[in-house]
Amino acid sequence: MRLHSLKYTEYKEEEFSWNLPDLVLGTINLVVGKNATGKSRILRIVIGLSRLFDGRVLPSALETGHYIVQFSDKNNEPFITYELELYKRKVKSEKLLLKNELRLSRGAGGRGRLWFDKVNDFIDVQIPEDQLAVTSRRDSEQHSFLEYLHEWALNSHFVDFASTKPKETFSAIDKATLKQLRDNQLDDDIVSLFRLGVEKWGRDFTRQICANIRKIGFNVSEIGIQPIQGVPAAIQLLDRAYYIYVVEDGVKKKLPQYELSSGMFRAIGALIRLQSAVAGKKPHCLVIDDIGEGLDFDRSSRLINLLVSEYELDRNKYSQLVMTSNDKFVMNGVDIKYWCVVERDGGNIRTFNQLNSAEIFDDFIQYGFSNFDFFQNGFFSKTIKSSQ
C-alpha cells in the first residue's frame, strides 16, 4: 500500500489557515520550491500522519488539522480512503473507506459506526474524543482493514538530512531493549538504527552500506560500531554508549563519527536508513528532507542518483521515496518526471507534477531547457495562468 494523495487543512476558519488541496505522489518524488513555500512542512505532515497511526503522536498534541488521504494498492488502484478532522485537540470526525466501502464513521462525542469482520456488519461504538479509532480499536480479527494503516505507518521513515543532531548522538540503549524497538522508532537515532541493523542482518548489512558509501565518492573500506573511549568526560558518564566509525583507504585509524565532516556523516546516516528500509523487504515510505545539504556537488549528485536508482528497481516498485530540495544542481540531476513543484500564495499551497499536471510537464520537456529553468522561470504557473 502506498500513499497516493493527500489533502490537508489547518485552522481553516482562521485568517492564518494553511491549505494543501491536492498533493499527488508517485513512487519517486522530488519536492521542489523556493524557501518558505512549505516543502518541509508537507513532509512533516506525511510523517506526522504515520505517527498518529502508530500511536507515537496523540490527537491531544494537535490543535487542529483536517486530513483526507488516499492509499493505492499494488495495481495503483484506490484502496483505502481515510479522513480525519481534529479540532481543539479532539477528534471531531473520522472516516475510513476500503475499496469505496464504508468501514468506519464517527463524529461528535466520539459516537459512530465501526465494521466488525466476524459479525459482517456495523456496530455502534463510542470512542474517546482524544483517541483515534485507528489506534484504539485495533483488532486484526475484527477490524483487519485498520492493519493496513498500521503497516504503512510502521514502515514509514524520516531523515532530516540537514540536521546536525545525528552526528552528536550516541547509542546508549541496551541490547535487549534495542531488539524490541521498531526501525521507525529510531529515525532520530542513527547509531542505534545501525546497531539494530547489524543485529538483524549482520555483515551483509554493513557490506552493502559500505559499498554504497563508496559509490557516492567516499573511499571507505569498513564501517562498524564500538564503545566510546577517550572522549569528553560528559559523554563518558553514559553507561556503555556506542558510536559509528569508518576506516578510509590508506588510513589505519578507525575514524569516529564525531571526527567526520557533517556532510559525510549525513550521507552515511541516509544510507543506513535506506539499507534498513530495503533490507526489511517490505513496501515502505522513505522521506528525506533537504537531500544533499552540506555535500559537494559530485557527492550530492551521486547520492541522489543512487537513491533514485534504488527505487526504480522492481523490488521497490511498491515502495515510495519522497525528497525535498531547492538546490539547482540537485534539481537538474533528477528527471523532471519525478518533480513535484510547490508554490505558495499566503496560506494556500499548490503542487504541480506529472500526475496532476501532465500537459504542463510534457509541453516543457519539448522545449529542451534545463530542469531548473522550469522552476526558476515559473513555467508551470505561467502556463496555468495563460490557460485560465
pLDDT tens digits in sequence order for the chain, 388 residues long: 999 999 999 998 889 999 999 899 999 999 998 899 999 999 999 999 999 999 999 999 999 999 999 999 988 888 999 999 999 999 999 999 999 999 999 998 999 999 999 999 999 999 999 999 999 999 999 999 999 999 999 999 999 999 888 777 888 888 888 888 888 889 889 999 999 999 999 999 999 999 999 999 999 999 999 988 755 544 444 457 899 999 999 998 999 999 999 999 999 999 999 999 999 899 999 999 999 999 999 999 999 999 999 999 988 889 999 999 988 878 888 898 999 999 999 999 999 898 888 888 887 776 666 777 777 766 656 544 444 4
Q: Do domains 1-155+282-388 and 164-281 have the same CATH topology?
A: yes
DSSP character at residue 290: S
Q: How is residue 380 written as a grid cell?
A: 508551470
* Cα–Cα distance, 304 to 335 (Å, whole number): 11
- Going from N- to C-terminal start, the domains of the chain cover 1-155+282-388, 164-281
> Facing residues of 66 across strands?
9, 85
Yes or no: domain 1-155+282-388 corresponds to CATH 1.10.8: no
- pLDDT digits 0-9 by tens, 231-264: 554 444 445 789 999 999 999 899 999 999 999 9
Could you tell me which CATH number the domain at 164-281 has?
3.40.50
Q: Among candidates 310, 337, 380, 370, which has minimal Cα distance to 29? A: 337
Q: What DSSP string runs through 52-121?
A: HHTTSS-GGG-SEEEEEEEEE-TTS-EEEEEEEEEETTEEEEEEEEETTEEEEEE-GGGEEEEEETTTTE
* Cα–Cα distance, 7 to 21 (Å, whole number): 5
**Beta strands 28-32 and 320-325: pairing type?**
parallel
- pLDDT digits 0-9 by tens, 132-142: 999 999 999 99
> Facing residues of 376 across strands?
none
3-state secondary structure of 242: strand
Are 112 and 84 a contacting pair, CB within 8 Å? no
Q: How is residue 348 written as a grid cell?
A: 494556500
In this prediction the pTM is 0.91
* Cα–Cα distance, 269 to 168 (Å, whole number): 12
Are 289 and 159 a contacting pair, CB within 8 Å? yes
What are residue 79's phi and psi, to 5 degrees?
-120, -60
